[in-house]
Structure 1
Amino acid sequence: MADFGEILSNIGEFGLFQKLTLFALCFPNVMQSFFIASFVFIQSDPERHCNTDWILSADSNLTTDELLNLTLPREEDGTFSRCQMFVPVDWDIGAIKEYGLNETAGCQNGWVYSNTLYDATIVTDFDLVCDKTNLMELIQTMFMAGVLVGSLIFGPFAESFGRKRATQIPAVIMFIFTVTAALCPNVYFLLVCQFLVGIGGGGYRVNCIILSTEWIGASKRSWGACVTQLFGALGQCILAGVIYFIRDWRLAQLITAAPLAVVAIYIWFIPESARWLLSRGRTEEAKQLIVKAAFINKRTVPDSLLEKPWFYQPGQAKGLGCIKRKAVGARWKIEIKEAVNKGGIQIIFKSSLLTRYFFVVAFGWFSLNLATYSLYLNMGSFGFNVFLTQFMFGAFEMLATLLSIWLLEVFGRRISLISTLLTGGLSCMFILAVPKGYAIAVTSLAVAARFFLIWSGPVCAVYMQELFPTSVRQTAMALGSLAARTGSFLAPMLNMLAVYHWSIPTAVFSSFTLVSGALVFLLPETRRKELPESADEAENKRNVTSTTTDSSPNQDSTKL
């Protein structure tokens, strides 16, 4: 049988064509890191007090200390209230000083901020303090909800309309609403923009991995997921520098949008997945792309692929089970075998084996994202320098991804996922044993935990692609990504449980990660095995490697 893996072996499994496509698809993930990481820099609780300039109408020569003493109540610790003020009165300054003010109320004219790390943040621009503090968590949650919805919408969308279109539309959405977010006049409009940015980000991330991976041969397939993660880690390192030098959130948003404008232009020239085109019966388009890829890779396409047309037999349903060759004189015809992958997502859930595979990987992906984002969004409470912690997170994520690229092919998927989930979960659990006040120890354990959890992320993405047939691969990937995004979505809400006890969030996500690591023992190894084209292959032929060839005596010596 000549499957798509054999075609790739002829035109190049990871040549210049694949590298250019992979780079172009991964580059936007540098900017995607900004969407999540920027929350760390805008949710701080700045020093502040109510704006009480009303008293200056009674005496414009008051010093700052006098103004605060006359207009602000004090807390039990002796500091000025951050959320209360004395109710303004129509008295002269002498009467105010003699009798004082007693009636208090919430801030009526906004706040005055001091000793802030940043020039302008969402918190200070929209006064998300005191009774509006929870709006900051709501902004995070809306973004995560958008990512979840984007994965849910554009995953199945890619099965019907193509990987290319499902990548282009989210890229444009990201650009438009990143710019719009920078111009938001109020927090409620910002909530809508963040939700739509999340939709674009979630839809793009899940589809760019599949589109790049389906062009890459079995020996380098893990690069699709790992390089995507690598570019995201690079973005986190860059973010630490950008926010350090540019401390205005609106300007930072516009800087983020600038590269996305370039992406929104070149994304229309990205090639479609030939594997998907074949599965939809669009063989001529697939053949043109295969020829183009071979040309860029400086490889020769066999004459048998070019001289004879690809065709369907009458009454045949569209779909690709495999490509079958028949000898006709000295040439070969390429036929499309009758479709065997009908039923859509039901293919996964009709099989108890595929269902088990799906839930094990999806639960692992959910758990690691719950832990990763809970740690990340709680970075400011570690007590260590937030800029340095951000850079360390990004740098160690890059190292984890580079190791993942290499060790996925050395040790395989199964051992890699088990070891990283269990080690990451144990590192999170050890945080509970560190007494409060040991910022360096807590930060070190958090960085170590995140290192292993980030390492396990690409493994889940690779596993989800290699366990399921072409007809539902993108749907499985989308649902797996949906599980991961659900973990991200729940992370801010899990962190809110710290008001009851600081250890609750850590205990929860550590336990989930350890359980998911243990469940991975139920998965098979898929290293260097060709992507399954049918449910039968996914269930019964996991032992067939990418090097398997048809040994028929009539087989042409030239692979297709």
Structure 2
Amino acid sequence: MGDFGEMLRAAGDFGLFQKILLIATWFPFLFLPFIYASVFFADSDPERHCNTDWILGAGPNLTEEEQLNLTVPREPDGSHSRCLMYAPVNWTLDSIRQYGLNHTTACLDGWVYDQTLYQATIVTDFDLVCDKANELAVAQTVLGAGMLIGSILFGPFGESFGRRRTTQIPVLFLFIFTLTGGLSPNFYLYLASQFAAGMGYGGFGMNAIVLMTEWIGITKRSLGTCGGQFSGAAGLACMSGINYLTRDWRLAQLVMAMPMGLVAVYIWFIPESARWLLDRGRTEEAKELILKAAAINRRTVPESLFEKIAVNKTVEKGGISVLIRSPVLRKRFLIIALAWFASSLTFSCLGFNVGKFGLDIFLTELLFGLTELPAHLLCFWLLELVGRKLCLMFTLLVGGLVCLSILAVPAGNVIAVTVLAILARILMIVGSSICSVYTQELFPTPVRHTAAGLGGAASRLGGLLAPSVNLLALYHWSIPVSVFSSLTLLGGALIFLLPETCGRELADFIEQAEVQRCRQTGFPPPPTPLGKSTGKRKHPASSRVNKDSAKML
């Protein structure tokens, strides 16, 4: 497919066809934050006390305050206990008032929850309080684990089954299990639904970006990723409004599921990646799609371009094994995965801490979404102006230094810490978007989907480990900041070893990565263990690559 870029330019590399595809794939991104961030609304722990209506049998006219004073013990700070009550007795109200109650016990008849902020959360519906309070963390962990597994599974699957299928199936997961989660009668079904929805989240995001990237020309290639992230930021801002209006986690889940139902219908009509079809040797299907794209864009593709690819009958092997065995691809993957992991870890650690500065939760999520919008617009502009390599290095290195500067802020200066944390968070958002774009361009078609999926998994792993890193503050408050700042600085420094990909055609063969490395370093390509599987391939582009390699040797 050395000629695919030429065919795409002839068919229109950013015409009406690509714009329709972008809108169709950007729309679900609008609702992905609902799945991830809604758990912070759904698991809100409201004020509560034990249900002590037993005393109303002795004194039906008691006010709520009198009832609490007689039946619920107080904490040392003077507030009523949230987990204990006085054991019921068969006394008259006068006796209770005269002698008082002394024997405490755990809540026997459930809890009474304050509904000032929310009508219902998973805490109030499933009574995840007191001795079950730790199960709240399980819900967040299960969702994160689902996202991680989804990235790992659907990434490599895309090399074998195509970009289209591994974009469509996660959408079904998102729709079905978001709906199931909102209707869950118990906590265990809710957890299972969260895990499955997380798999859909992890699978859809990166697969859709790969599909968009392979259909867009050089000049607008980063728009697929940055536009999807921009849509997600807008969704995060909208989500705070939906939760503010509904105040009920089940209703919010159902509202989130409705638009995903629409996506689950039209997603079956999106096109496959013609680049992947050519790589699989399915030239007739690829030709049909290219001609369809050209017709929608009102362009024509010369038949001579198709004749150049007609001889491509051998499928080049891809997948995790190829990514590991190729020295060049392995180095690239380890570097970009570290950068992605570090930016996600820093972003998540900062996000968990910034939300603890006392702002209203709805306002906090709204501000998070609104601050992301200009960040993604800036990301697209800088990527095309400066390039991927310099942009990512600057973002990670400056972001790491900003995080370290938090350590120099005097204790108690909350405003300064908040400003620095939000600035670093924006830089990490931009860094994650650049990693997503960069990953598509660093790897050839046979392993692009695998690299994107595993890179996304590294990002999800960073999010999963963030709470554990923040717990290191128990030993000293500066340890978490030092850990994620150091990783970010290391990731930014290693980006120097990667090639620039801005303005270059996507690589379609394993050999092209080696040749690109030679042109940039001046060294000959190392003997590749992949030669046996790729040497049989007869393709004009492959022949050109081998000739170039021979000249350099």
TM-score calculated relative to the size of structure 2: 0.90
* In the alignment, structure 1 residue 391 sits paired with structure 2 residue 366: yes
* 1:438 Cα offset (Å): 4.5
Amino acid at match of 1:422: L
Aligned to 1:541, the other structure's residue is in SS state helix
Cα distance change, pair 349–15 in 1 and its aligned pair in 2 (3 A)? same
**1:21 match:** 21
Cα distance change, pair 82–504 in 1 and its aligned pair in 2 (3 A)? farther
Q: Greater CA deviation, 11-20 or 486-495?
A: 486-495
- Cα distance in structure 2, aligned partners of 1:14 and 1:217: 6
* 1:204 Cα offset (Å): 0.6
Amino acid at match of 2:312: I
Of 354, 359, 362, which residue of structure 1 is paired with 2:329? 354
- Cα distance in structure 2, aligned partners of 1:116 and 1:195: 30
**1:330 match:** none
**1:558 match:** none
* 1:271 Cα offset (Å): 0.2
* 1:115 Cα offset (Å): 6.2
**1:128 match:** 128
Cα distance change, pair 502–114 in 1 and its aligned pair in 2 (3 A)? farther
Q: Greater CA deviation, 166-175 or 527-536?
A: 527-536
* 1:223 Cα offset (Å): 1.3
Deviation per CA, 1:86-141: give whole Å up to 9, x if none.
12222222222222121212222222222642222222222222222221111111
* In the alignment, structure 1 residue 335 sits paired with structure 2 residue 311: yes
Aligned to 2:299, the other structure's residue is in SS state coil
* 1:497 Cα offset (Å): 4.4
Deviation per CA, 1:334-373: give whole Å up to 9, x if none.
422755x436323222232321111110011111111222
**1:147 match:** 147
**1:490 match:** 465
* 1:435 Cα offset (Å): 5.4
How many equivalent residue pairs? 523
* 1:227 Cα offset (Å): 1.1
Aligned to 1:372, the other structure's residue is in SS state helix
- Cα distance in structure 2, aligned partners of 1:187 and 1:443: 35
Aligned to 2:151, the other structure's residue is in SS state helix
Amino acid at match of 2:398: T
* 1:384 Cα offset (Å): 2.1
8 Å contact kept, 2:84–2:105: yes
8 Å contact kept, 1:530–1:544: no
Of 491, 510, 515, which residue of structure 2 is paired with 1:535? 510
Amino acid at match of 2:456: S
Q: Where in structure 1 are there 5+ consecutive unaligned residues?
A: 309-322, 325-333, 553-560
8 Å contact kept, 1:25–1:208: yes
Of 374, 380, 384, which residue of structure 2 is paired with 1:409? 384
- Cα distance in structure 2, aligned partners of 1:211 and 1:109: 54
* 1:419 Cα offset (Å): 1.1
- Cα distance in structure 1, aligned partners of 2:464 and 2:131: 23
Deviation per CA, 1:156-194: give whole Å up to 9, x if none.
111111110111111011000111111111211111110
**2:231 match:** 231
Amino acid at match of 1:104: T
Amino acid at match of 2:151: S
Q: Greater CA deviation, 216-225 or 406-415?
A: 216-225
TM-score calculated relative to the size of structure 1: 0.89
**1:201 match:** 201
- Cα distance in structure 1, aligned partners of 2:499 and 2:401: 24
Cα distance change, pair 543–5 in 1 and its aligned pair in 2 (3 A)? farther
- Cα distance in structure 2, aligned partners of 1:501 and 1:195: 33
8 Å contact kept, 2:22–2:212: yes
Amino acid at match of 1:444: V
Q: Which has the higher helix share?
A: 2
Cα distance change, pair 484–195 in 1 and its aligned pair in 2 (3 A)? same
Q: Greater CA deviation, 517-526 or 139-148?
A: 517-526
* 1:445 Cα offset (Å): 2.3
Cα distance change, pair 543–531 in 1 and its aligned pair in 2 (3 A)? farther
- Cα distance in structure 2, aligned partners of 1:504 and 1:99: 52
* In the alignment, structure 1 residue 110 sits paired with structure 2 residue 110: yes
Cα distance change, pair 227–119 in 1 and its aligned pair in 2 (3 A)? same
Q: Greater CA deviation, 260-269 or 416-425?
A: 416-425
8 Å contact kept, 2:83–2:107: yes
Amino acid at match of 2:139: I
Q: How does 1:24-103 map to 2 (within 5 A)?
A: 24-103=24-103
Q: Where in structure 2 are there 5+ consecutive unaligned residues?
A: 521-540, 545-553
* 1:508 Cα offset (Å): 2.7
Aligned to 1:55, the other structure's residue is in SS state helix
Deviation per CA, 1:463-500: give whole Å up to 9, x if none.
11111111111011111111111112222343444555
* 1:67 Cα offset (Å): 1.1
